Amino acid sequence: MAPGDTTVGSTPSSNSALIERSAGGVRYSLGMNYTEASLPQDGVFKIALHGQKTGIASLKINDISGGIVVRSTVFMGAPLEPKSRAKLVLDPAVSPEQLHLTVSLPGGAGTLSQAPDAVLEGAAANDSTPPTTAIRVESGRLTIAVDDIGPAGVFRTWYGTDRAQEGGQVYSGPVNLPEGTTYVWASAVDRAGNAQYPPTVYETCKLPADMDGNGKVETQDIELMASHLGSRHHPAFDLNRDHRVDDADLREVVAALGQRCKPEP
């Protein structure tokens, strides 16, 4: 690794990130969507991501010299499930290209080894501007355009049709949407780990209680809402905008049961 301080940032999706808190000289900054740790120059550190829910986690390691990021090593989209673990040994004697993030699958199902998705230097390592997306739907066919003004370059684009914005799929080209789709979201992330948030949204009618975006409010929408009760950071389920997902939001979905809308031709 390059000389100087090192920062480690983890941006989990439905996961918590833990970096050995007993390590001397480590400073932590906890955010809503990430955990950042500043490590001293010397020493070997073990980094661990602990899965809480099914999702993905990203890990970004910055080498800093004179207060400037000189190199970033980025791991994108490590798959985590409840009780799964992802570990990385950060050793100054090992080059970034040789680092591997090891994911231990739950239930003794084996391990996955992930090499860095990007090792960036110079302007690309200091890119802090996320890409943006634009959605176009014609005759049920979805096209997503991505604009990335930063030097790191686009890594991946996702899209989905659920208002919860949890069931995303990787976008690789124009795709036919399911019949009756009234809601589409899209988001992109660049090779420096900058992710677009909130996603771009395209909708043909206003039906907030339609959680899965299929154009009608059904029992599965009630089940989706019930599974997120107690959440404080999920605006798609906070229908009454009181900064929490509770029985009041569930009652709104129940009251809307049977409502439907049709996409514009």
Distance of CA 8 to the CA centre of its chain: 17
Q: In the chain, how many domains are there? A: 3
Q: Which of 157, 146, 158, 149 is nearest to 127 (CA)?
A: 149
CA angle 127, 128, 132 (to 5 degrees): 105
Predicted confidence at residue 250, as pLDDT, reads 93
In angstroms, rounded to a whole number, what is the distance separating the alpha carbons of residues 137 and 125? 34
Over the chain, what is the mean pLDDT? 81
The confidence band for 13, taking pLDDT boundaries of 50, 70 and 90, is: very low
Q: Is the pLDDT of residue 33 over 70?
A: no
Within this chain, do residues 148 and 183 fall inside the same structural domain, yes or no?
Answer: yes
Give the mean pLDDT of 15-35.
52
What's residue 29's pLDDT?
Answer: 63
Per-residue pLDDT for 87 more than 70? Answer: yes
pLDDT of residue 159: 95
Residue 237 in this model has a pLDDT that exceeds 90: no
> Torsions phi, psi of 50, nearest 5?
-110, 115
Q: List C-alpha distances in Å: 1 to 19, 42, 55, 78.
A: 18, 10, 29, 22
Residue 42 has pLDDT above 80, yes or no: no
Same domain, 31 and 106: yes
Q: What is the pLDDT of residue 26?
A: 63
Confidence of residue 4 (pLDDT cuts 50, 70, 90): very low
**pLDDT score recorded for residue 222:** 92
Ordered strands of the 169-170 beta sheet = 169-170, 154-160, 183-190, 200-203
Q: What percent of the chain has pLDDT over 90?
A: 34
- Same domain, residue pair 41 and 96: yes
Q: Are residues 97 and 132 in the same domain?
A: no
Residues 6+ apart with CB under 8 A from 7: 36, 37, 38, 39, 61, 62, 64
Measured CA to CA in angstroms, residue 143 lies from 65, 157, 158, 172, 176 at distances of 42, 11, 12, 10, 9
pLDDT tens, position by position, 164-206: 787 789 999 999 998 878 889 999 999 998 889 889 999 888 8
Residue 151 lies in domain: 127-203
Residue 234: its pLDDT value, please? 76
Residue 14 has pLDDT above 50, yes or no: no
Residue predicted with more confidence, 14 or 37: 37
- Which residue did the predictor score with more confidence, 36 or 120? 120
Mean pLDDT of 6-33: 50
| CATH number, domain containing residue 251 | 1.10.1330.10
Question: In 3D, which of 197, 227, 231, 200 has the Cα closest to residue 212?
Answer: 227
More confident residue, 52 or 262: 52
Q: Give tens-digit pLDDT for 125-134.
A: 999 899 999 9
pTM score, whole prediction: 0.73
Nearest of 41, 43, 32, 35 to residue 8 by alpha carbon = 35
- Tokens at residue 144, please? 């997503």
Alpha-carbon gap, residue 79 to 92, rounded angstroms? 26
CATH number of the domain where residue 151 is located: 2.60.40
- Tell me, yes or no, whether 160 and 242 share the same domain: no
> What single DSSP character describes residue 195?
B
106 within domain boundaries: yes
If residue 203 lies in a helix (H) or strand (E), which one and from where to where? strand 200-203
Rounded Cα distance between 54 and 165, Å, is 14
Residue 228 falls inside a structural domain: yes
